[in-house]
Amino acid sequence: MKQFEESVYRLIVETSTNLPADVRRAVNRGRAAEDAATRAGLALSTIAQNIEMAEQEVSPICQDTGMPTFVVHTPVGANQIEMKKSIYQAVIRATRDGKLRPNSVDSLTGSNSGDNLGPGTPVIHFEQWEEDDIDLRLILKGGGCENKNIQYSLPAELEGLGKAGRDLDGIRKCILHAVYQAQGQGCSAGFIGVGIGGDRTTGYELAKQQLFRHAEDINPHPDLQKLEEYVMETANQLGIGTMGFGGEVTLLGCKIGAMNRLPASFFVSVAYNCWAFRRQGALIDPVTGDIRSWLYESGSHVAMNAETEAAPAAPAEAPEKGREVVLQTPISEEQVRSLRVGDVVIIRGEMHTGRDALHKHLMDHDAPLDLNGAVIYHCGPVMLKDDEGWHVKAAGPTTSSREEPYQGHILKKFGIRAVIGKGGMGANTLQALQEHGAVYLNAIGGAAQYYAECIQRVNGVDFMEFGIPEAMWHLQVDGFAAIVTMDSHGNSLHADVSRDSKAKLEMFKEPVFA
């Protein structure tokens, strides 16, 4: 087993940087179904480009490399204690090399362990089996989509869909609701794994196990197969679209499994995974520890940038693309007030990252520098330091809604003119944008290589004590593109898409699987 640690390392690198073939084909099918001239079409082409860049650079597809979760099947007699130690060592090395972001945070103190090790991280599930080889699988599921997982206890009353009973039709309603409630916040278009039954813990486990199925497999259970097909067709009529921009493609995959339950319990658990659906696996020689073969087809030969064939004609309601506006920082109130939802903004100058720890801190402290006219980027990058200083390895946006309790106040307090993130923000922020004169820009979630390339230099950093993802990085950018989705005139694309998708959800209220 001398090579086992090296094999785990290779698995981590492959999972983080090279999206497998079945996932790539699903994204390509999504691209073919979306009108390329819409905002969602633009988002999908950025995603496609990002997938290729990550493979070329051997860098993370998304900066959030998630909760590393290993599932290991071992032959009888294999030494699981030694394997665990090797997995830890490989995780440390992959973090040091910038293939994983340091993501393990003490829940009470907020301190980041820096190497992805800590109580409960990484997650490792061992199982014995009667085969000769070791089956080692890894999924890197990020925090934003993890937050969109949802568990239903039937019977239930569901927003937009009414009563959901303890039967196949009730399950159908739960799954549609799960896709609806995620909106664009889990970086749609997504993949869902559904677990029917179990208890609260095993139900979620079953849902996550479904994510290890091949995207193109066929469910052996005829009822579940029908349900999967129904969900794929129906969820894509909800109009949530890529990044919640509205559009034809909301869901790229749906896998459903069932297990027994207690008479009193009936759970439907849904694990939502973003388009950056990173999972891979390998069969490993139990004597040498070498990789014998990969378990999911490599994505390397599935091109993402090929022009999509047979793109349908633009749907009548296709949102028009707005203007393209170049903004040099610092930005004036007048410049921001001229922007409208739909405009594409290209930023040049300095921006500052800030997420949960920083927003909380700024509520009752001063900022370390003048933020008048500044741009705040909701982003927790992957950073590496060498003799020349810090370098950005991956830097896409994080889910902005977590900053909703703070954002309005902070905008006004410091004179910030633009906030960049993803998934949109709520009514308080919208009101503050209007009162103070500021704008919310939606960047493409997961496009961490695409945005890293726009960053020319790291000008400095504050609050390193918050850990790398939460620190305030001062970044010099050029050509950083994002779309205005909330403007200073009270318009919010997110509010519109949420309202429209709810109306569409209501169309699926009537029983289908009676």
Ligand X SMILES: O=C(O)C[C@H](O)C(=O)O
Binding track over 107-146 against ligand X, x by CB under 6 A = -----------------------------------xxx--
- Taking the complex as a whole, the smallest distance from the CB of residue 190 to ligand SF4 amounts, in Å, to 8
Which of ligand X, ligand SF4, none does residue 276 bind to, with CB < 5 to 8 Å depending on kind? Answer: ligand SF4
Residues in 75-114 at the binding interface with ligand X, rule: CB under 6 A: none
Tokens 């900066």, residue?
Answer: 63
- Of 286 and 423, the one with the shorter C-beta distance to ligand SF4 is 423
User: Which is it for strands 324-328 and 344-353: parallel, antiparallel or unpaired?
Assistant: parallel
- Taking the complex as a whole, the smallest distance from the CB of residue 185 to ligand SF4 amounts, in Å, to 8
Residue nearest to ligand SF4 (CB): 142
Q: Which two tokens stand for residue 43?
A: 């988002």
DSSP state at residue 232: H
- Taking the complex as a whole, the smallest distance from the CB of residue 423 to ligand X amounts, in Å, to 7
Angle at the Cα of 191 from the Cα atoms of 52 and 343, rounded to 5 degrees: 60
Determine if 396 is a binding residue for ligand SF4 (CB under 6 A).
yes
- Taking the complex as a whole, the smallest distance from the CB of residue 398 to ligand X amounts, in Å, to 4
Determine if 142 is a binding residue for ligand SF4 (CB under 6 A).
yes
Residues in 154-193 at the binding interface with ligand SF4, rule: CB under 6 A: 186-187
Which of ligand X, ligand SF4, none does residue 286 bind to, with CB < 5 to 8 Å depending on kind? Answer: none
Terminal CA-CA length for the chain: 54
> To 10 degrees, the CA torsion angle through 64, 300, 184, 436?
60
Binding track over 37-76 against ligand SF4, x by CB under 6 A = -------------------------x-x-x----------
List the one residue out of 164, 171, 129, 146 whose CA is nearest residue 69. Answer: 146
Q: Please state at what angle helix 39-57 crosses helix 4-17, rounded to 10 degrees.
A: 150
Binding track over 321-360 against ligand X, x by CB under 6 A = ----------------------------------------
User: Which is it for strands 190-196 and 267-273: parallel, antiparallel or unpaired?
Assistant: antiparallel
- Of 183 and 399, the one with the shorter C-beta distance to ligand X is 399
Which of 154, 274, 367, 392 contacts ligand SF4 by CB under 6 A? 274
Please enumerate in sequence order all residues whose Cβ is within 8 A of that of 241, keeping only pairs 6 or more positions apart, or say none: 34, 40, 184, 188, 189, 247, 248, 249, 250, 497
- Of 143 and 349, the one with the shorter C-beta distance to ligand SF4 is 143
CB 393 within 8 A of CB 452: yes
Q: How many Å apart are CA 244 and CA 145, to the nearest integer? A: 13
Tell me how crowded residue 214 is: count the other CB atoms within 10 A of its CB: 15
Which of ligand X, ligand SF4, none does residue 271 bind to, with CB < 5 to 8 Å depending on kind? Answer: none
Which of 193, 244, 246, 380 contacts ligand X by CB under 6 A? 380
SS (H, E, C) 185-212: CCCCCEEEEEEECCCHHHHHHHHHHHCC
Which of ligand SF4, ligand X, none does residue 380 bind to, with CB < 5 to 8 Å depending on kind? Answer: ligand X
Q: How many Å apart are CA 335 and CA 313, to the nearest integer? A: 35
- Of 27 and 83, the one with the shorter C-beta distance to ligand SF4 is 27
Which residues sit at the interface with ligand SF4, rule CB under 6 A? 62, 64, 66, 142, 144-145, 186-187, 274, 276, 396, 445-446
Which residues sit at the interface with ligand X, rule CB under 6 A? 63-64, 142-144, 187, 380, 398-399
